[in-house]
Structures are given as structure tokens and as C-alpha cells.
Amino acid sequence: AQKITQTQPGMFVQEKEAVTLDCTYDTSDPSYGLFWYKQPSSGEMIFLIYQGSYDQQNATEGRYSLNFQKARKSANLVISASQLGDSAMYFCAMRVSRGAQKLVFGQGTRLTINP
Amino acid sequence: EAGVVQSPRYKIIEKKQPVAFWCNPISGHNTLYWYLQNLGQGPELLIRYENEEAVDDSQLPKDRFSAERLKGVDSTLKIQPAELGDSAVYLCASSAPWLGGGGQETQYFGPGTRLLVL
């Protein structure tokens, strides 16, 4: 069965520091996609970054990068130069079954940026 | 470009009452999803539509939940009758047609409807 594991319920980071949010996944499907979403207190799930299982390079989007280690089945999110506005819940998700487009989410990590 | 629109944002009802949520997806997105998010957890898929067809409703509790997507655009999710355990956030998402490339299946979410059943 497909599963996403986020082992950090909460993270506290000083403003301007880099932060890594952990995500491991489990699937037997060779084709899959990995996503990170941010959910502020307003409730909306904001798409941050995508990594395909066949992508050779790690994905980057501005201050966000995804540390994709396929052999270890990990897809950690790295946020550089954290800002106060980065405080939110962060969810790692996996798209299972090409074309089926079902997302399986982890439990989330609550990130708090301290001034 | 407008994002996914949901209404209402908040709803408080008494148990056994009916409730309905509405979603308008991003223009051109033929796939629409309804997710349930319980407090402190990640979202879980309830139902997925491809145009007007429900192609995955295996997680939808059909005894009390129903959904429709007439004309393949807007969608409505209904609960009748609501139970205390239905208190949660109901998220709607949409994605563009799958053309085989990477990332095209990205789902974009609306702000959600926060339901409280008393």
C-alpha cells in the first residue's frame, strides 16, 4: 500500500535560517509524483513543489527545493532563508497510479518561524 | 487566473440536519476532487470526477454523502443527515487534463469549508 510518513510533528526555526522538513514514502509503483503543500491557518492548501519519480534532478522553486533520494525513498523539503510568513502546516503527498491522480498525504509538520 | 472557489467558508449545523458545499474549479480543469481533512491530519480523498463522471468514489460514505457535478464544471457535496463526526474541513481541488508529462497532475485546492456539527 502507498504511504507517506512525516516524522516531525513540529519544527521551530529562527528567521533567516534554512529548514528541512522530512518525508519518506512507500510505493511499489515505479511511476509516481511527489508534492509538497503549505497550509496556513486560513486553511487553503498551497502547492509548493513537484518531483517526478523519473526526474534526474532535484526540483527547485524559488526558496523551495526538494531533496529527492530515490533509493532511500525520501523527498525532503528544504526552505532556504526562512521568513515569518513560512509559519504553517506542511504536507508531503504522493500521486499514486499514473492517470488515477489520487493523492496520498502525510500527517503534516507544523513549522514555526521565530523572529 | 481565478483559483478554486468554495462556499460557504464556514458552516455550523445541528446533528441530523442536511448540509451542502459548493465548488467551482479552475477554468479548463476537467478533474475535480473532494477531500475530507480531520483536525491534525492530512486530507483524504472522498470522490474524484473526470468531467461529469465520478471515477473514484470508493471512499465516499454513500449512506449519507452524495455528490454531483452537473455539466462537468461546478460540483456540490451533500451530507444528509450530518453526524457529530462529520465536523471537519472539506476541501475541493482541481487539476488539468493529463497529457502524460510530469507535474501536469498537480492539484490546486480551494480554501475549504469548515463544518462544525453540534
> CB within 8 A of A73, min separation 6: which ones?
A24, A25, A26
B56-95 pLDDT, tens digit per residue, is: 898 999 999 999 998 889 999 999 999 999 999 999 999 9
Query: What SS3 class is residue B88?
Result: strand
Cα of A35 to nearest chain B Cα, Å? 8
Contact check, Cβ <8 Å, A43/B44: no
Interface test with B, best of A56, A103, A107 (most B CBs within 10 A): A103
What's chain B's average pLDDT?
92
B93 reaches A (C-beta below 8 A): yes
Give CA–CA dist A10/B116, Å, rounded.
26
Mean pLDDT of A45-73: 94
Out of A46, A93, A101, the one facing B48 most closely (by C-beta) is: A101
What is the structure's pLDDT at B103?
58
Phi, psi of B85 (to 5 degrees): -70, -5
Cα of B24 to nearest chain A Cα, Å? 15
Give CA–CA dist A16/A79, Å, rounded.
10
B25 reaches A (C-beta below 8 A): no
Helix (H) or strand (E) holding B114: strand B113-117
Name the nearest CA neighbour of A41 among A112, A115, A114. A112
A2-31 pLDDT, tens digit per residue, is: 899 999 999 999 999 999 999 999 998 888
Interface test with B, best of A2, A91, A101 (most B CBs within 10 A): A101
Q: Which residue of B has its CA nearest to A99?
A: B98
B21-35 pLDDT, tens digit per residue, is: 999 999 989 899 999
Provide the pairing of β-strand B31-37 with B44-50.
Answer: antiparallel
> CB within 8 A of B58, min separation 6: which ones?
none
CA A86, A88, A92, A93 dihedral sign is negative
Residue with cell 509548493: A48
Q: Which residue of A has its CA nearest to B102?
A: A52
Give CA–CA dist A27/A93, Å, rounded.
12
List for chain A the helix, strand, coil content (%; round to 5): 5, 55, 45
Q: Is the pLDDT of residue B2 over 90?
A: no
What is the structure's pLDDT at B100?
60
Give CA–CA dist B66/B45, Å, rounded.
14
Quickly count: other Cβ atoms within 10 Å of residue B80's Cβ: 13
Quickly count: other Cβ atoms within 10 Å of residue A54's Cβ: 11
How far CA A88 is from CA of A62, A82, A113, B109, B115, in Å, comes to: 18, 12, 9, 16, 21
Expressed in angstroms, the distance from the first to the final Cα of chain B is 37
